[in-house]
Amino acid sequence: MAEARQIDMPDHVSARLNMGETVRIDRIGYAFVAFFTIPFLLFNIMPVLFGGYIAFTEWSIIGAPQWVGLDNFREALHDEWVINAFKNVLFYGLIIVPGVSICGLLAALFVNQRWPLSSIARTFFFAPYVVSATVIGLIWVWLLDTQYGLINHYLSYLGISHIKWLTSTEWSLVGVSIASIWWDTGLAFILFLAALQDIPKDLIEAARVDGANKVQRLFFIILPLMRPVISMVVTLQLISTLRIFSQVYVMTNGGPAGSSASPIHYIYQAAIVRNTFGYASAVAIILFILIVLITVLLRLVVRERA
Amino acid sequence: MSRTKSRVDRRTFLKTATAASGAALATPLIASKAFAFNKPIELVHWSWLAASDGEVWAQMIDSFNQAHEGQGIQIKMELVPEEQYTTKVLTATATGQAPDFGWGTAGKGAQLARDGVTVPLDALIRDSGLDLADFTDSSVKAARYPKYGDEMYMVPMDLMSLQPEVNVDHVLEAGLDPDAFPTTGEELVKWGQAMTKFDGDNVSRSGILMTGSGVQPTVTWGIVAEQMGFQRASDDLKTAAVNPEAGIAAMEWVLALFDEYRVSTRDVTDRYKAFGTGNGSIFWTGPWTLNGYVKQGVNFRTYEMPNIGGTQRTYFEMGGLEFYKQQDEERYAATMEAVKWLSDNSFLWTTVGRGAAPRRSILDRPDYKTTGHPWDIRGAFVDGMKIATIPEIPVVAGPEFTIYSGGNFLASTLENVWAKQKSPAEAMEQLAARWQKGLDEG
């Protein structure tokens, strides 16, 4: 075979060769890999590298980028709208991540009981996740309407009236978070359910025989065994929240007064609406650094010790 | 044939398949090159008109194509979202794939003109025989960019002013006379108060329809401020925020609508929907809403903008068709022929579509007032053009100056005022600084 040749190999491979086996490098494999690799390089890696470059320039598509050094970063770090968007996203994280994790876990525990109709409940809990964020946003704009929304209508029976979910600076972030929790819970739920179903039944049974009640079984058997999945859900959710955009764009467009704006929304405004691509890229890099830092920190805090 | 002979090994199969795929992919390219010169010219037109006015525009394009069937020129229209329009035009131009022509708004395209994305049209207009004397003076002026050779960069198609639409049912219910619409700010507030409804302490129906953020309070401020004597930029485009006290007073007037006069609520999220469903009584907006509200069955009339601040003025936008840079410059002449036809035949567009006609020959037609929607809902947008003297600022930073925006620097800054997180004076200081920088940069 023309394509097959002997090359320098690690010891264990050389040992196999000495035993009479041959190793063939079939270059056609690269062709198959290329179907993924080339588009990935062209449409993922190249834009990221180009984005990194234009963050140091002033550029609005037409003409060559003008090198401005760190000016975009300096401007971004002093831009009150950028600072506000980053503050907001941290608040989003504080509301959405625990909200999604707790709701997802409760839903998974409920379905795992295998009570009658639990399969319908499973579909019910997961369904919002398959709907696009834009549709979710549009639905929740109606539900959370201050004057005519269903949520305020039902709250009025409890004596709570007229919460300005999307039209006040105090509540807009909460309003968007509620829609996000409803949307994102589906993924957390399905991951938690899979983890729950993986826990050996005999462990639970042994704990029950030893006299552990339901709460003790949950906190001393189930949750510790689910630690890796909890860690994964929290990490995924945090990254997803730091990138929140569609709900913000559809529900409040970042307002009022920037109270619900997120970094990605700001980047979209800077790049697509104002055509300041260099500045938008600089903000995107700052966001990227923040995501990496928070993710590493989180992994250190809730890392699995199993 | 024996089974052994017909067997194809994997390598041969892959070679054959690759060759076949390559041939299949290349065939359309080869074919298109071969037939390109025998095809009629197909002009690519980008439009963002997606509401009810878009349907009328599509009719205009269809009419052109029917009228030119077999004559070697056709228009292919493609819809592009308005917010992404400029970015997509820039990208398409940078890659040599720009559409031939598209919709633009006068005064907002200085960057495109500066960067050579849009094409100066004076010579093309002259060569095509399009009679500029037939266009109103204000429309020709608005199509020019003084800082970029003062050439026309679009062919004006319609003039859209902001005027109050008023729910007649609410007027009658409040015991007001629909034939005596307010002409001053004080009267306007009284009308608003008469039509406002409350649910407990909260405004449930706005006498004067406003939102807590976005376009509506921004454009209201812009109109009232200019009526009070404020200028975003001086006439020579060198000084920003002329007469800032008037701008501050206008912010206080808008705040008073919410908090003092109590004719508006910040709780409305969708102004168009609110007026359509009867949750707002007086709503200043543009002629693009007419088709929708008529179809919806809203009982409304339109009036000219009252004099709130001292000089009766209102904001206007001019829609027009701009040409984008082509590698094959011979296409410009064909594009101009098409645009000339659309302009010459814009009667439908400026009666049923949207806005007032920029062409005198259309405005003077005896059937201009009787065609399309009834005059009591359309007339203010035509007759009101005489007070529509608040234009865009034709500089590269123009989008930061526009008062009809929900997301530019102006709107974002003012949102803090409406939310009481910034004083009007602080906001004015920020606006003046940012705008001055924009003017200084050209």
Kindly report, residue by residue over B251-285, the tens digit of the pLDDT: 999 999 999 999 999 999 889 999 999 999 999 99
A60 Cβ under 8 Å from any chain B Cβ:
yes
Q: Quickly state the pLDDT bin for A24 (edges 50, 70, 90).
A: confident
- Residue B61 binned pLDDT confidence (cut-offs 50, 70, 90): very high
**Does B33 have pLDDT greater than 70?**
no
Minimum distance, in Å, between the CA of residue A80 and any CA atom of chain B: 11
Query: Closest Cα of chain A to B91: distance in Å?
Result: 6
The highest-confidence range among A22-36, A154-168, B159-173, B363-377, by mean pLDDT, is B159-173
CATH number assigned to the domain covering B163-315+391-440: 3.40.190.10
Share of chain A above pLDDT 90, in %: 56
Q: Is residue A141 part of a domain?
A: yes
Query: Which domain does A85 fall in, by range?
Result: 80-301
- Reply yes or no on whether the pLDDT at B126 is more than 80: yes
Mean pLDDT of chain B: 89
A303 pLDDT band, cuts 50/70/90, is low
Please indicate whether, in this complex, the C-beta atoms of B268 and A147 are within 8 angstroms of each other.
yes
Better-predicted residue by pLDDT, A275 or A175? A175
Q: Looking at residue A306, what is its pLDDT?
A: 43
> Residue B345: exposed, middle, or buried by beta-carbon count in 10 A (0-12, 13-18, 19+)?
middle
Instruction: Indicate yes or no: pTM above 0.90.
Output: no
Inspect the interface and report whether the beta carbons of A62 and B115 lie closer than 8 Å: yes
**Residue-wise burial string across B276-307, b where 16 or more C-beta atoms lie within 10 A, e elsewhere:** beebbbbbbbbbbbbbebbeeebebbbbbbbb
Count of residues in chain A = 306
Q: Is the pLDDT of residue B153 over 60?
A: yes
CB contacts of A63 in chain B (<8 Å) are 115
pLDDT grade for A19, boundaries at 50, 70 and 90: low
The full DSSP string for B142-209 is HTB-GGGTT-B-SEEEEEEE-EEEEEHHHHHHTT--TTS---BHHHHHHHHHHH-EEETTEEEEEEE-
Closest CA relative to residue B107, chosen from B356, B395, B355, B323: B395
Which pLDDT band holds residue B121 (cuts at 50, 70, 90)? very high
User: For residue range A241-263, what is the model confidence (pLDDT) as tens digits?
Assistant: 999 999 999 999 888 888 999 99
Can you give the pLDDT at residue B20?
47
Identify the residue among B86, B115, B203, B213 best suited for mutation to test binding to A, counting A beta carbons within 10 A and taking the highest: B213
Fold held by B41-161+318-363: D-Maltodextrin-Binding Protein; domain 2 (3.40.190)
Residue B28 has a pLDDT of: 42
The percentage of chain A sitting over the pLDDT mark of 70, rounded to a whole number, equals 91
B16 at interface of A, judged by CB pairs closer than 8 A: no
Distance CA B366, CA B349 (A): 16
| Residue A10: per-residue pLDDT | 61
The pLDDT of residue A17? 56
Highest mean pLDDT: which of A19-28, A160-169, B420-429? B420-429
Nearest to B87 among A168, A256, A275 (CB): A275
The pLDDT score that the predictor gives to residue A23 is 67
- Contact assignment for B83 to A146 by CB distance below 8 Å: no
Number of structural domains, chain A? 1
In a domain, A88, yes or no: yes
B430 touches chain A (CB under 8 A): no
For residue A269, give the nearest of B111, B212, B407 by CB distance: B407
Residue B203: the pLDDT is 92
Residue A160 has pLDDT above 90, yes or no: no
| Confidence (pLDDT) at A22 | 65
CB contact B269 to A (< 8 Å): yes
Binary contact (B94, A258; C-beta < 8 A): no
Indicate the pLDDT class of residue B65, thresholds 50, 70 and 90. very high
Asked if A146 has any chain B CB less than 8 Å from its own CB, the reply is yes
Residue A190 lies in a domain: yes
Q: Which residue of B has its CA nearest to A268?
A: B84
Judged by a CB distance cut-off of 8 A, whether residue B90 touches chain A is: yes
- B29-33, B55-59, B326-330, range with the lowest pLDDT: B29-33
Q: What is the pLDDT of residues B233-245, one digit of tens each?
A: 999 999 999 999 9
The shortest CB-CB distance from A257 to any of B199, B204, B416 is to B416
Contacts of A273 in chain B (CB under 8 A): 83, 407-408
Chain B contact present for A256, CB below 8 A = yes
In chain A, residues with a C-beta closer than 8 Å to the C-beta of B116 are 62
In a domain, A38, yes or no: no
- Contact list in B for residue A167 (CB cut-off 8 A) is 211-213, 266-269
Q: Which of A91-100, A108-117, B392-401 has the highest mean pLDDT?
A: A91-100
pLDDT of residue B6: 41
pLDDT at A236 over 70: yes
Q: What is the pLDDT of residue A273?
A: 82
- Enumerate residues 6+ apart whose C-beta is below 8 A from B219: B162, B284, B315, B403, B404
- The pLDDT of residue B434 is 93
Mean pLDDT in residue range B175-192: 96
Domain assignment present for A75: no
CA distance B219 to chain A (A): 16
Cα–Cα distance measured from residue B265 to residue A256, given in angstroms and rounded to the nearest whole number: 13
CB of B415 less than 8 A from some CB of A: yes
| B268 with A63: Cβ contact below 8 A | no
Within 10 angstroms of residue B9's Cβ, the number of other Cβ atoms is 8
CB B125 within 8 A of CB B323: no
Residues of A in contact with B399 (CB under 8 A): 274
CATH number at residue A95: 1.10.3720.10
pLDDT at position B261: 96
pLDDT at A199 over 50: yes
Q: What is the mean pLDDT of residues B386-399?
A: 90
